[in-house]
Amino acid sequence: SRATGIAVTLKGYDVVRRYDEQYDNNTARNVLAKIEGVDPQLKDQYVLVGAHLDHVGVRGGYVYNGADDNASGSGVVLELARVLAEAKVQPRRTLLFCCWTGEERGLLGSNHFAKEPCDAGGIERIVACFNLDMVGMGEVLNAPGALNFPTVWDVIKRDQDAEIMKRLKPREGGPGGSDHSAFIVRGVESMLLISSGGVGHQDYHQPEDDAGKIDPAMLRTAG
């Protein structure tokens, strides 16, 4: 990125359009991308890395930007996909990058995919799911599910940077209020990453949840 020197003034808007069930225009989509596995024995197994891309919209005339919840998680997923694709990484299993819709309305997007995994062919082919939700603020990164699935946690620890490990807090976890729940209840080894400590998430579901408060170091830790 570079500075352009151009100043922009927003003077208003021309159209107000409401999206709602009563207008039959409230369809939203999951956004999926993959890097295909190369191992003939394992490429039909899928590892999911996902985050929800929706927030709560507009309330009382205020726009709720949702920078921490959950542009932080979906941004990390997009960056992971970009870095691995540009590096031409050839994973043994297929990596599926998932930006889920409708999390704030009841995990709609992830549950839809878990019921009908359009690319994976069946839930039994998904061997692990990593979910990032609110990873942009705080001091440590909690990892609920890490202690439930020690095999996956051992892989994570194997070659991890020591400074990153200091900020990771493995915990037991189960079905909860984020998108990994759609998979853990169906028997998929699943782990959530969510930051805590420090400033915490004081703007949770508030219009002040803005990008200027996000800590790039926390995003890097999550990645």
Mean pLDDT, residues 83-89:
97
pLDDT at 120 over 80: no
Residue type (1 letter), 211: A
What pLDDT was estimated at residue 8?
85
Task: Judge whether residue 200 has pLDDT over 80.
Answer: yes
Question: What are the Cα distances from residue 131, in Å, to 10, 47, 49, 206, 209?
Answer: 36, 11, 6, 22, 20
Percent pLDDT > 70 in the chain is 100
| Catalytic residue numbers, as ranges | 103
pLDDT at 16: 82
Averaged pLDDT of the chain: 92
Residue 81 has pLDDT above 90, yes or no: yes
Structure tokens at 157: 């620890």
Cα distance between residue 5 and residue 87, in whole Å: 33
**In DSSP terms, which residues pair with 168 in a beta bridge?**
141
Is the pTM higher than 0.85? The answer reads yes
User: At 196, is the pLDDT very low, low, confident or very high (cuts 50, 70, 90)?
Assistant: very high
Task: Classify residue 34 as exposed, middle or buried by CB count within 10 Å of its CB (0-12, 13-18, 19+).
Answer: middle
| pLDDT value of position 175 | 83
pLDDT score of 1 more than 80:
no
Check pLDDT > 80 for residue 189: yes
Residue 173 has pLDDT above 90, yes or no: no
**Phi, psi at residue 83, to the nearest 5°?**
-65, -45
- What pLDDT is attached to residue 2? 82
Reply yes or no on whether the pLDDT at 33 is more than 90: yes
**Model pLDDT for residues 35-79, shown as the tens digit of each residue:** 999 999 999 999 999 999 999 988 888 899 999 999 999 999 999
Report residue 142 CA to chain centroid gap.
Answer: 14
- pLDDT the model gives residue 221: 92
Count of C-beta atoms within a 10 Å radius of residue 117: 20
Mean pLDDT of 207-220: 94
